[in-house]
Each structure stands twice: as structure tokens, then as C-alpha cells.
Amino acid sequence: MNFNFSIQEIASVSLTLFAVIDILGSIPIIINIKAKAGQIESEKATLAAGLIMFVFLFLGDNILRLFGIDLSSFAIAGAIILFLLGMEMLLGIHIFKSSATSNSMSIVPLAFPIIAGAGTMTTLSSLRAAYELPNIIIGILVNLLFVYVVLKNTQWIEDKLGEGGIEVLRKIFGMILVAIAIKLFKDNFLVIVKTFQESM
């Protein structure tokens, strides 16, 4: 099998995924999760996110079809989780159980949908059609390494921001997260409505 490695393609894939995953923008959310779970299991969260991305890269469409789920419905499910997480941050309430362990919260909502959410999965489908598979795989690995570094240094980032800075960022990013969730919900709901109308 002939693999065509391309630095340009790897850079394009890496930057695209970096923008979609937006792990730096998710720092206030990660700190919020850490406050409830006690700690972030960075290795477990990174591995879970990586597994989700690779499974979706190779089998995503088939898995969704197997369960009779379309990508838009899957995206709406992710949007609802993001919306609830954003409301937690904005209102200072607990929707996800505060007794949840760092183990469970490292998977949901951290690995999915914060790191490997519907946007990441949709992007992977688009990248698969435009770039060579080996270059996409390397791009994913580059992003997972960066995600791991950020998660591993959450405490240091938290110390630098301070309690006041964290609270301000929590409110701001809570609002942003709610807005992203609503847009994700709206866009994919319209796709479902359009598909339904066309099938009539």
C-alpha cells in the first residue's frame, strides 16, 4: 500500500482539528469539571477522546447506520450535553451529579463531547474525503498530544488564573458554550427538517 505523507496536509489537518477541538478555549470548562470530580484523569480522557476519534474516522458512518442514527441527530445529542454544561457554569447549579467520579467525568463530558464532540466527528468525515488517511492520523495524534499537555497542566493553569479569574472565565465561557450548543442544535435540527420535507 502506498502512503503519501505530506507535511502540508498534516499541518492543514492539525490546524483544522485544533480549531474545532479548541482545547485552550475549553480550559474554564475543564477547570469546572475538575472542581466537581476532584481531579482530571488526563491519560484516560486523552485515550478516550483518541479512541472516539479513530473509531469514528474508520467506522463512524457504519456505526451510526447500524443504530439507525444520522449524523445530525448525533450532533443534537452532543449539543444538549454542551447546553446543560454551559447552564451549570452560568448559573452555578449542578445538573451532572456532583458525586460523579473523576473516572466517569474524564469520559463524559470531557472526552465526549468537549474534546471529541459532534463538530470534531463531522470535521473528520470532511477531512477523510479531502486528505490522505496517514496524514489525518498524524494530525489527530498531534492534537491528542496537545490535549494531553493541557489536561496534565490544569492545576498550573488554575493557579495562574486565580479564583477570581476562573470565576469570570467560567461565566463568559458558560455563555459561549450555551450559544455554541444552540447553534449546533439549530443547524442540525434544520437539516433534519429539510430531510423530512424532501422525503414527503
pLDDT of 184 strictly over 80? no
Could you tell me which residues come within 8 angstroms of residue 91 by beta carbon, excluding any fewer than 6 positions away?
none
- For range 102-115, the mean pLDDT: 81
pLDDT for 1? 47
pLDDT at residue 102, as a whole number: 59
* DSSP one-letter string for the chain: ------HHHHHHHHHHHHHHH-TTTTHHHHHHHHHHHSS--HHHHHHHHHHHHHHHHHHHHHHHHHTT--HHHHHHHHHHHHHHHHHHHHHT---S-TT--HHHHIIIIIIIIIIS-HHHHHHHHHHHHHS-HHHHHHHHHHHHHHHHHHHHTHHHHHHHHHHHHHHHHHHHHHHHHHHHHHHHHHHHHHHHHHHHHHH-
Percentage of residues of the chain with pLDDT beyond 70: 94
Over range 98-126, report the average pLDDT: 77
Domain edges within the chain:
16-199
Using one digit for the tens of pLDDT, what is the confidence trace for 11-20? 989 988 987 8
| Mean pLDDT for the chain overall | 82
Q: For 132-151, what is each residue's pLDDT tens digit?
A: 999 999 999 999 999 999 99
C-alpha triplet 67, 139, 108: angle, nearest 5°: 45
Q: What is the pLDDT of residues 73-95, one digit of tens each?
A: 877 877 787 788 778 778 877 76
Average pLDDT over residues 173-192: 81
CA-nearest of 133, 123, 143, 154 to 50 is 143
pLDDT tens per residue, range 21-76: 888 778 888 888 888 877 889 999 999 999 999 998 998 778 878 888 877 787 78
